[in-house]
Structure formats: C-alpha cells, structure tokens
Structure 1
Amino acid sequence: MILIYTDGAAKGNPGNGGYGTIMKYRQHEKELSEGFRLTTNNRMELLAVIRGLEAIKVEGIPVKIYSDSKYVVDSITKGWIWNWQKKGFKDKKNVDLWKKYIPLHNKYKPQFQWVKGHAGHPENERCDELAVAAAESGQLKVDQAYENENR
C-alpha cells in the first residue's frame, strides 16, 4: 500500500501558503512541498493530496491518504464532490483543484483517513513543518487560479 500524508498551511487566509506531502511505499519515502505567495489553507490542503497522487508512478497499488483537513476528507468521503460536479461546481471554491483531483481519484481510488492535526502524529507533524517552511521560503510561486479568481 502507498501511504500519503498531507498538510497545508497559510499565513493569513488568504496569505502566503504551502503544502507538505510525505509518500511511503515499502522502504521508499519521498517528501514534497511548494510555497505560494497568495492562497488559502483549504487550497493547500487539497493541493497536498493532488501532488501526492500525481507523484505515484505505478497504478494498481492501493493508496491511503492521511489528512488533518475535514474540508478535504469530508468532501470526498461523504461524496459532496460528486454532487458539486453534477451541479457544475456552482458557487463552490477551489473548482480548479477539484477538477484536478477527480481524475486522480478515479485512477487511484484512494482511501482517506482523517487525523487530528498538531496532536503528535509524526508524519502529520513533519508535513506541517514542510508546509510552513514552504510558505515562509523565498521561493513562492503564483497560485494563478486563485489570484485570477480573486482580483
């Protein structure tokens, strides 16, 4: 099973933000992170999941994602995104990211596990460190979709 741990952060909401993702498969481990100059916490939480799924190189291996984001976990496990999709995402936020997520979901069919944030879960704590460091780095990218939508 491929294990993916994720977290997002935003300094101000909106503000500069970042995500952290840890991927584990057998003895392999990989860390991913990026920072953005203007974004939201929910966008970074969802982007962390997307980037983890995008980094998978082989299909057919079960995937389990650990996230402390109720927004992400509930939207998927409670099926809200499928209703949003049917309604064309009318009045929903982060449509660009949900549209990126859906084909990845269909491809990998990940299981989700919510974990309490800042509660001593080692991988969640490390993802938080990665996300905060990315948000505070001098290497901030432009979250084009967010900035265009909120001009």
Structure 2
Amino acid sequence: MKDVTIVCDGSSLGNGKGEPRAAAVALLGFRGLWKGVGKFLGRATNQQAEIAAAALGLEELKEPCRVRLFSDSRYVVETMTGSFRRKTNHDWWSRLDKAAERHTVEWNWIKGHSGHAVQEAADKAARKIASAGHVDPDLLSDAVVDLGTVEL
C-alpha cells in the first residue's frame, strides 16, 4: 500500500447567513510531491465543507492507501475517530464513510491559521474557490507549486 498524506480544508463564506458559498479543498502528498483537488459546493455550512474536503481527498485516491489525513476541523477528526456522535449531516458523513472504507486512515487534527504551509495553502485555496464560485485548475496548481517537497 502507498503512504499518502492528505491535508484538507473547507470554507463557507457567509456561513449561517442567507446565501453561503462553500468550497472544499484537499492537498494530497505522495513522496514529497503535492496535488490539489477542489470543489465548489454552493450552499453548504462550514462543517459540511470540512466533511466534503476530507471525502474529496480520499475519493481522489485510485487504489487502497495508508493515509495520514490532517484537518483543522475537530468536528471531522473527532467524529471519524468515534469521540463525537453524529447528530446531523448524515448524508455528508455517509459520503465520507464510503470514501474512507477502502483505505487505512489515521485522522489528525492540525491547528488552522498557525503557519503550517500545507494547511495554509489548503485554506487559502478553499476560500478563493468559495469566493469565485467555481474551481480554477490554475489556482490548485498554484496552491501546491510553492510547497515543493514539504513533508509532514
């Protein structure tokens, strides 16, 4: 099995207000090289965007892998490790469960906005996609180009 690192982040601009604009981004690292994937979600909460970001990264993997997944969402990490109960967002959790089932996933919380290069790149890309209302492939390429061979 390949060892892969995923750093993911979700963003919901206007979360809790009339018309939120949400996006999910996952940066996948393999042998020090990084690839970015993202999706504009439209109307979704911040928590839903965080769940979607983790699912997006896992869905991108073409074969079963050992995955170290990092999220700045305690909601995602604690729920997937069994510490939090699932009270809402059941359809979103089902998607993440399905995405995770063929992999061996180590769920890790990473503090957001703390200067961690990969997490900051994921956060910035998610906010830009949410703001733009669509995914720009160049934006995802730019998000990982400066990471070079960053290892976690």
Q: Same fold (TM over 0.5)?
A: yes
Note the C-alpha offset of 1:53. Answer: 0.4
Alignment-derived partner of residue 103 in structure 2: 108
Alignment-derived partner of residue 35 in structure 2: 30
Letter of the 2:43 counterpart: L
Question: For the residues of structure 1 that align with 2:77 and 2:112, how far apart are their CA atoms?
Answer: 13
Question: For the residues of structure 2 that align with 1:117 and 1:139, how far apart are their CA atoms?
Answer: 23
The runs of at least 4 consecutive aligned structure 1 residues that moved more than 6 Å come to none
Note the C-alpha offset of 1:106. Answer: 2.2
TM-score (norm 2): 0.79
> Is the Cα contact below 8 Å between 1:18 and 1:44 reproduced in 2?
yes
Question: For the residues of structure 1 that align with 2:27 and 2:47, how far apart are their CA atoms?
Answer: 18
Letter of the 1:2 counterpart: V
> Which runs of 5 or more residues in structure 1 are unaligned?
85-91, 141-151
Q: Deviations over 1:12-35 (max 9, x none)?
A: 214111112100111432101122
Letter of the 1:75 counterpart: T
> Which runs of 5 or more residues in structure 2 are unaligned?
136-152
> Is the Cα contact below 8 Å between 2:8 and 2:25 reproduced in 1?
yes
Alignment-derived partner of residue 55 in structure 1: 60
SS for the counterpart of 1:78 is coil
Whose relative contact order is higher, 1 or 2, with alpha carbons under 8 Å and at least 6 apart?
Answer: 1
Question: For the residues of structure 2 that align with 1:13 and 1:118, how far apart are their CA atoms?
Answer: 18
> Is the Cα contact below 8 Å between 2:24 and 2:56 reproduced in 1?
no
Alignment-derived partner of residue 118 in structure 1: 113
TM-score (norm 1): 0.79
Question: For the residues of structure 2 that align with 1:39 and 1:138, how far apart are their CA atoms?
Answer: 12
Question: For the residues of structure 2 that align with 1:138 and 1:109, how far apart are their CA atoms?
Answer: 33
Letter of the 1:3 counterpart: T
Note the C-alpha offset of 1:105. Answer: 2.4
Note the C-alpha offset of 1:58. Answer: 1.9
Letter of the 1:13 counterpart: N
Q: How many residues get paired?
A: 130
Alignment-derived partner of residue 149 in structure 1: none
SS for the counterpart of 2:77 is helix
Percent of pairs with identical residues = 29
